[in-house]
Amino acid sequence: MTDVRLFVPRDAGALAVGADEVAAALRAGLAKRGIAGEIVRTGSRGLYWLEPMVEVATAAGRIAYGPTTPADVEALLDAGLLSGAAHPLRLGRPEDMPFLKRQTRLTFARCGIIDPLSLADYGASGGWRGLERAVAMTGLDVVETVVRSGLRGRGGAGFPTGVKWRTALQAPGARKFIVCNADEGDSGTFADRMLMEGDPFVLIEGMAIAAIAVGASKGFVYIRSEYPHAIETMRQAIDVARRAGYLGAGIAGSPHAFDLELRVGAGAYVCGEETALLDSIEGRRGQVRAKPPLPAHHGLFGQPTVINNVLSLAAVPFILAEGAAAYADFGVGKSRGTMPIQLAGNVRHGGLFETAFGVTLGELVDDIGGGTASGRPVRAVQVGGPLGAYFPRALFDTPFDYEAFAARDGLVGHGGIVVFDDTVDMARQARFAMEFCAVESCGKCTPCRIGSTRGTEVIDRIIRGEGDRAAHLALIADLCETLKFGSLCALGGFTPYPVMSAIRHFPEDFAAVPARAVGAGTP
Amino acid sequence: MSGREAFQPQRAAEIIAAGAHREGPLLPILHALQEAFGRVPEAAIPMVAEALNLSRAEVHGVVSFYHDFRREPAGRHVLKLCRAEACQSRGGEARAAEAQIALGVGWGATSADGAVTLQPVYCLGLCAVAPAAMIDDQPVGRLDRSRLASLLDAARGDA
Ligand SMILES: Cc1cc2nc3c(=O)[nH]c(=O)nc-3n(C[C@H](O)[C@H](O)[C@H](O)COP(=O)(O)O)c2cc1C
Ligand code: SF4
Ligand code: FES
């Protein structure tokens, strides 16, 4: 047999459940049979409950098998894995699987399919077309294309990306910078990581387009230190892109010069906040700066700076290649395009689900996510990271859309959904939110620094059943008001979301004798 | 695991010189020092300050602000256990308790045999294969009780 091609992810989430061991077993199995074959290491398709998911190229397209273990490999090869033959682990063609079929993959179109560091793969799957368009346009035309697409920042705040770019374009400055926020500190989110590991060139292309749009000559990608695999892949991808002329002097044959440098964070959640992140690159403690001045006017090293999340920048190549309308056609209201949603925690089908805005929370959790992994009823979901609200089932009709979530005192954030079953103790979740704020506070605002510690203590007293419960709850509500209005950034300002939503929607867990279920959602 | 070279002023000076030309050189230099020496050695701080034209207090302030920078070397292995919400929903807190009992230490401390430093982290981006951990730079998902026990055994076994 010739031309055997197998695909095994090298995504950290797949490695975490044994993808390297499966690849090694496949290599040994091929060698034993005297078959020369290639094992391509891809990103993940994002169906994590099926990882490690192995694919084989056949005449009928790629056929997937999963979740596999090294111990399955001999039987898989004997059954005829290489020709896509039947086996209990056979999943069929990935694109026919409901979880993928129901998605609209614009940003993640290639992730899990191509070799992440192969320029040939990237080019053959439509890569660089957006950049080629951009170099033939004026900066202002690129900016206005992004404005018309309706793209909003995917890092959490949802600010219109094109409008931010327009400000930076118009700002005078000796140099301008593009900064990619790859700090991805929100728990329950992993889309930035997946993309950087699975399709790093799309991020580089997006940053190069941003550079052309505003006239920037240098970019930084700031990746959190908790992501060693993403760091390594991005580092290599930047080198490959530079050697191929997509970075450096005269990018993609144009007169524009733009180069990228990678920076590694050092374990501080607050450094995901844009001004703290810029301080961190400059070599200072990551402290939040008051705005104005906006980074677009006075950003990195005092120069006009565009700072965007990974997913915002990675959405741009599609918009330039296919046109603003092709992107804006998806979505609802003021939430245009697609959102890479991350289903996490106690969910049967955990993974990445990119879809047009407008899908409801209930569809995402029950239908697409398949309910809990533990098999117990879903009781609560937290949307939008550690500063996001907890939603009860009663609010599962909320559509995924920035305004609809805000109207229900929640946030879309970076698109993470963490599912909890009925063993969750919401008083403990509220306590954790306060504790997290205390641990990660940059220390600048008193309510955030001190109030959060006080809040943790008060919730502890509620949990222990000490003192006057009603007075404790009133104090928490008070502290939350102070946090909300006395904080410079969303770390202090949004901590009330998880805390107050837990109290509002799950008051029974804060009762004098809480009806707490025993046992935890342990696998 | 990152380096455990003994501190050598000459080596530190090389590392600092190699990073000093960058824009915003402080964090990359501190990372490189920790990579080589397993910590940011106290003796390197005045050297960094001088090379970058900062005060010692400024360098100290940065080192102490970031959770990643150590003043003391870690154990032979570092186990980062995720304490954040997605992992909580899958029994992460139980794993945390088991690890603390097995190692006989709390968060941030190193087991008496010097084998494992237990570090809390808030999300590793492995939230769809929770509960999750990272041992040195190896990600670990679906961390059940027995998987944790064998990880710890392996880490403590290789002296
Ligand atoms: C405490 C805090 C943490 C944040 N963490 C992140 C993060 O990890 N990644 C991110 O892209 N944005 C994060 N943000 C939002 C950024 O400040 C900023 O809005 C974003 O980088 C802008 O990019 P976008 O417009 O593309 O979303 C955080 C904000 C706050 C207040
Ligand atoms: S709210 Fe907290 S993290 Fe944000 S600036 Fe104030 S002290 Fe710093
Ligand atoms: S919450 Fe634990 S890995 Fe993300």
B75-119: pLDDT as tens digits:
999 999 999 999 999 999 999 999 999 999 999 999 999 999 999
Give the length of chain A.
523
Counting ligands in written order, the one closest to the CA of A440 is 2
Taking the C-alpha atoms of residue A493 and residue A444, their distance in angstroms, rounded to an integer, is: 13
Residue A521: predicted pLDDT: 41
Q: How confident is the model at residue A269 (pLDDT cuts 50, 70, 90)?
A: very high
Average pLDDT of the residues of chain A: 96
User: DSSP letter at A179?
Assistant: E
Q: Which residues line ligand 2 (CB under 6 A)?
A: A 270, 288, 441-445, 448-449, 487-489, 491-492
Task: Give the mean pLDDT of A229-252.
Answer: 97
Position A523 scores a pLDDT of 41
Q: Which two tokens stand for residue A465?
A: 């059943």
Name the strand (E) or helix (H) holding B133: strand B133-135
Please give the average per-residue pLDDT across A148-176, as a whole number. 97
Distance A265 CA to ligand 1 centre (A): 14
Please report the pLDDT score of residue A522 as a whole number: 41
A439 vs B contacts (CB less than 8 Å): 122
Q: What percent of chain B has pLDDT over 90?
A: 94
Give residue B2's pLDDT: 52
A311 lines ligand 1 (CB under 6 A): no
Q: Are B88 and B124 in contact (CB under 8 A)?
A: no
- Residues within a 6 A CB radius of ligand 3: A 187-188; B 82, 84-87, 123-127, 130, 132
Residue B5 pLDDT class (50, 70, 90 cuts)? confident
SS3 category, A18: coil
pLDDT higher than 50, residue B61? yes
- Residues of A within 8 A of B141 (CB-CB) are 13, 16-17
pTM exceeds 0.95, yes or no: yes
pLDDT confidence band for B6 (50 / 70 / 90): confident
CB contact under 8 A, B128 and A343: yes
Q: Is B49 on the interface with A (CB under 8 A)?
A: no
Phi/psi-derived region of residue A375, left when phi > 0, alpha when psi is between -120 and 50, beta in every other case: left
pLDDT given for residue A516 in this prediction:
52
Which residue has 């928490």 as its token pair?
Answer: A476
Beta strands in A310-456 (DSSP E): 331-332, 335-336, 338-345, 351-356, 378-383, 390-392, 416-421
Tell me which DSSP letter residue A91 carries: E
Cα–Cα distances (Å) from A388 to A90, A338, A408, A501, in that order, read 38, 20, 11, 9
- Nearest residue to A504 (alpha-carbon basis) of A476, A468, A523: A476
Domains in chain B and their CATH numbers?
A: 9-65 (no CATH), 77-156 (3.40.30.10)
Give the residue ranges of DSSP H helices in A422-468.
426-440, 446, 452-464
Residue B12 contacts A, CB cutoff 8 Å = no
- Given the CA of residue A418, which atom of ligand 3 is nearest to it? 1
- Which of B68, B130, B139 is opposite residue A15, by nearest beta carbon? B139
Angle ∠(A120,A124,A128) on CA atoms, nearest 5: 85
Residue A265, class by beta-carbon neighbours within 10 Å (0-12 exposed, 13-18 middle, 19+ buried)? buried
Q: What is the percent of chain A with per-residue pLDDT over 70, rounded to a whole number?
A: 98
Q: State chain B's mean pLDDT as an integer.
A: 95
Predicted pLDDT at A518: 43
In eight-state DSSP terms, residue A178 is E
For residues B7-23, average pLDDT = 96
Please report, for residues A153, A279, A299, A309, B130, the alpha-carbon distance to residue A285 in angstroms, rounded to integers and kept in the order given.
25, 7, 16, 21, 31
Enumerate residues 69 to 88 of chain B having a beta carbon within 8 A of any beta carbon in chain A.
69, 80, 84-88
Mean pLDDT along residues A57-75: 97
Q: What is the mean pLDDT of residues A239-255?
A: 95
Query: What angle do helix axes B44-52 and B56-65 make, rounded to 10 degrees?
Result: 110
Q: What is the pLDDT of residues A190-218, one digit of tens each?
A: 999 999 999 999 999 999 999 999 999 99
Beta-carbon contacts of residue A16 (< 8 Å; ≥ 6 apart):
B126, B129, B132, B139, B140, B141, B142
In chain B, residues with a C-beta closer than 8 Å to the C-beta of A440 are 122
Tens-digit pLDDT profile for residues A300-339: 999 999 999 999 999 999 999 999 999 999 999 999 999 9
Contact B107, B79 (CB under 8 A): no
pLDDT range class, residue A512, cuts 50, 70, 90: confident
Rounded mean pLDDT, A78-98: 97
Does B137 contact A284 at a Cβ distance shorter than 8 Å?
Answer: no
- What was the pLDDT predicted at A46? 98
Residue with tokens 């008070």: A478
Chain B residue closest to A443 (CA)?
Answer: B65
Contact B127 A188 (CB under 8 A): yes
In this prediction, the answer to ipTM > 0.85 reads yes
pLDDT of residue A513: 64
B90 touches chain A (CB under 8 A): yes
pLDDT tens digit sequence for A291-305: 899 999 999 999 999
- The string of pLDDT tens digits covering residues A431-452 is 999 999 999 999 999 999 999 9
User: What is the C-alpha separation between A325 and A361, in angstroms, rounded?
Assistant: 26
The pLDDT assigned to A2 comes to 55
* Dihedral over alpha carbons B17, B19, B21, B22 (to 10 degrees): -170
Identify the residue whose tokens are 């993940």.
A44
User: B14 vs chain A: nearest CA distance in angstroms?
Assistant: 19
Cα(B65) to ligand 2 centroid in Å equals: 14
C-alpha–C-alpha distance, residues A69 and A77, integer Å: 13
pLDDT-derived band at A515, boundaries 50, 70, 90: low
pLDDT band at A3 (very low <50, low <70, confident <90, very high): confident
Nearest ligand to the CA of A185 is 1
Res B4: pLDDT: 73
How far does chain A reach from its first CA to its final CA, in angstroms? 42
Amino acid sitting at position A523: P
Exposed, middle or buried, A226 (CB in 10 Å: 0-12/13-18/19+)?
buried
Mutating to test ligand 1, I would choose from A147, A274, A494 the residue with most ligand atoms within 8 A of its C-beta, which is A274
- For residue A514, the model assigns a pLDDT of 59
Residue of A nearest to B84 (CA): A187
A153 CA to chain B: closest CA distance, Å? Answer: 20
A232-246, A337-351, A382-396, A500-514: which range is least confident on average? A500-514
pLDDT band at B1, cuts 50/70/90?
Answer: very low
**CB–CB of A266 and B127 under 8 A?**
no
Query: What mean pLDDT do residues A5-12 have?
Result: 98
What is the β-pairing status of strands A54-58 and A4-9? antiparallel
Which residue ranges form the domains of chain A, and what is each CATH number? 4-97 (3.40.30.10), 119-328 (3.40.50.11540), 331-421 (3.10.20.600), 426-510 (1.20.1440.230)
The answer to whether the CB atoms of A522 and B90 lie below 8 A apart is yes
Q: CB B24: neighbour CB atoms within 10 A?
A: 18
Q: Output Rg (C-alpha) for chain B, integer angstroms.
A: 18
C-beta of residue A164 within 8 angstroms of C-beta of residue A308:
yes
**Mutate: best of B70, B71, B89, partner A, most A CBs <10 A:** B89
- Size of chain B in residues: 159
Give DSSP secondary structure letters for A19-53.
Answer: HHHHHHHHHHHHHHTT--EEEEEE---SBGGG-S-
C-alpha–C-alpha distance, residues A320 and A146, integer Å? 8
